């Protein structure tokens, strides 16, 4: 069993046993994911990952919670990018299309839908990146008049993952995103202090 699948299953079990929404299992563990610098939206190569709230326990349950916090941090960073784009005057994003390996991880996809408060569309074709190249080739070769026309003819949405309804999970992500932003800003302040 792949590690991510095992940790996803363990998180499902923990949430059921504790009778809480799965995302809230990481309410005391916070992560910033910039292991090798931040490319977007901060373009700060000196940023580094941070983890707050980890204790001395080292079992599978604790690993699963840190994994959940890390997945959520990636979703919050995506939200930060979307907000930066909109603040720069780009059109409002109303939905997100996802593909690639991580789109096969249901926790990753649902965490992004919840953090972004947007529906995520997963393509029918498992090799959507390759299909994108084929769309460009079909356009360049004259089989279709435009990339939009080629995409409409050659691609389709397989399923849509919608964000959790307003309520406990949405409020949790709003609070946790605020912590994520504060951790990011704090790290920059720490560098200035040193």
Q: What is the pLDDT of residue 166?
A: 86
Counting residues of the chain whose pLDDT is more than 70, the rounded percentage is: 100
DSSP character at residue 35: B
Dihedral Cα 90, 119, 137, 85, nearest 10 deg: 20
Please report where in the chains the tokens 């959940």 appear, as a residue: 68
Instruction: List the beta bridge partners of residue 30.
Output: 52
Q: How many Å separate Cα 146 from the centre of its chain?
A: 30
3-state secondary structure of 32: strand
Taking only Cα atoms into account, the Rg of the chain, rounded to an integer number of angstroms, comes to: 19
Integer Cα distance of 107 and 104 in angstroms: 9
Residue 151: phi and psi, rounded to 5, are: -60, -40
Contact between 155 and 99 under an 8 Å Cβ cutoff? The reply is: no
Q: Are 51 and 66 in contact (CB under 8 A)?
A: yes
Rounded-to-5 percentages of helix, strand, coil across the chain: 55, 10, 30
DSSP for 36-76, written as a single string: TBB-SSS-BTT---EEES--S--SHHHHHHHHHHHHHHHHH
Predicted local distance difference test score (pLDDT) of residue 192? 94
pLDDT, one tens digit for every residue, the chain (194 residues): 999 999 999 999 999 999 999 999 999 999 999 999 999 999 999 999 999 999 999 899 999 999 999 999 999 999 999 999 999 999 999 999 999 889 999 999 999 999 999 999 999 998 988 999 999 999 999 999 999 999 999 999 999 999 998 899 999 999 999 999 999 999 999 999 99
Q: What local confidence, expressed as pLDDT, does residue 49 receive?
A: 96
pTM of the model: 0.92
Summarised one tens digit per residue, pLDDT across range 64-99 is: 999 999 999 999 999 999 999 999 999 999 999 999
pLDDT tens digits, 51-60: 999 999 989 9
Structure token digits, residue 15 = 């949430």
């Amino acid at each position: 069993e792949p590690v991510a699948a095992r940790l996803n299953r363990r998180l499902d079990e923990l949430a059921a046993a504790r009778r809480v929404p799965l995302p809230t299992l990481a309410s005391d563990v916070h992560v910033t994911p910039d292991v090798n610098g931040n490319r977007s939206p901060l373009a700060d190569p000196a940023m580094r990952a941070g983890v707050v709230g980890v204790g001395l326990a080292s079992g599978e349950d604790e690993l699963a919670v840190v994994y959940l916090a890390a997945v959520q941090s990636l979703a919050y960073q995506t939200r930060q990018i979307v907000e930066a784009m909109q603040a720069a005057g780009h059109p409002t994003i109303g939905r997100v299309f996802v593909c690639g390996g991580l789109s096969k991880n249901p926790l990753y996809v649902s965490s992004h839908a919840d953090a972004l408060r947007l529906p995520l569309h997963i393509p029918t074709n498992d090799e959507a990146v390759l299909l994108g190249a084929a769309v460009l080739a079909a356009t360049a070769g004259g089989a279709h008049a435009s990339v939009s026309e080629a995409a409409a003819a050659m691609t389709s949405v397989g399923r849509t993952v919608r964000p959790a309804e307003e309520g406990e999970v949405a409020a949790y992500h709003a609070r946790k995103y605020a912590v994520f932003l504060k951790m990011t800003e704090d790290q920059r302040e720490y560098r200035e202090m040193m």
